[in-house]
Amino acid sequence: MSLRWQATLLDPALAGGSAVVHCRQQFLVDANGVLFPRDWLRRLELPLASEQGIGYFEGEPVFLFELDSPAAVPGAQWQSLRQLMMQRNDGDLFRMLGFAAQIGTWASQHRFCGRCGARMEQRPGERAMHCPACEIQHYPRLSPSMIVLVTHGDELLLARSGRFAPGVYSTLAGYVEPGESVEECVVREVREEVGVEIHAPRYVASQGWPFPHSLMLGFHAEYAGGVIVPQPEEIEDARWFSIHQLPPLPAAQSIARYLIELYVAQRLGRPEPVLPG
């Protein structure tokens, strides 16, 4: 557990501190980074939808300003979390921003009750939105998803989507369907996305992933049979790569990269990497 970033519930009535500004899966950034003086932000009259106390970064209280629209701020620009992860390579910062994105999306999507339409209220001292009209409550939700590295000896089955950066290949991933176990999801998604069969998948590790509500459950599975057939409109290309000649890989902070580097290290007898966060 990192000592730089500690997630906790802070009362927005507290004075001072810093803030991150989030809107529609993007963060406000300037030359100094993503943390802004909170009092300075309040003077800008931003279109604030919600303010959340999210924790401590390097011992300083941090708050989240969730905006209705991506307002223009002189000297600053909006960047996605993926862009920030690629540019800064800071695991603790990524964990903080990932948490902020999850909480900001939850707060934005639960301003009104989905049952009766009344305005929701945040419960004091609790990360929960409450409807005073029909008494329903909504907590930040997580959608379980799986990510799996399929291997065959010294070869890794990697694929790319058109959404990836040019040349980058990664592991396979997908969301768990209602009534489905994660292991069943792994088998189904591999079959759907690349057309091959696998042996029973083995759980490796997990990572929170703001997409915007994902908890990524990482697996490893051995190839059992079949020929690669990429899923149309989902997989741009998929192929086997030797551990000695890998393509450009996902960002270093991602669980996809961890699964790949862990297997390579095990095959080559190298020290095992540590999952960021």
Q: What is the pLDDT of residue 91?
A: 82
Q: Which residue type occupies 51? A: E
What parts of the chain have a pLDDT lower than 70? 1-2, 277
If we measure between CA atoms, which residue out of 180, 176, 160 comes closest to residue 168?
160
Lookup: tokens for 260: 């790949």
Q: Which structural domains are found in the chain, ordered by start?
A: 5-109 (3.90.79), 143-268 (3.90.79.10)
DSSP per residue over 51-100, as a string? EEEEEEETTEEEEEEEESS----TT-EEEEHHHHHHHH--HHHHHHHHHH
Q: What is the pLDDT of residue 211?
A: 76
pLDDT per position as a tens digit, 143-184: 999 999 999 999 999 999 998 989 999 999 999 999 999 999
Q: What is the pTM of this model?
A: 0.87
CB 45 within 8 A of CB 71: no
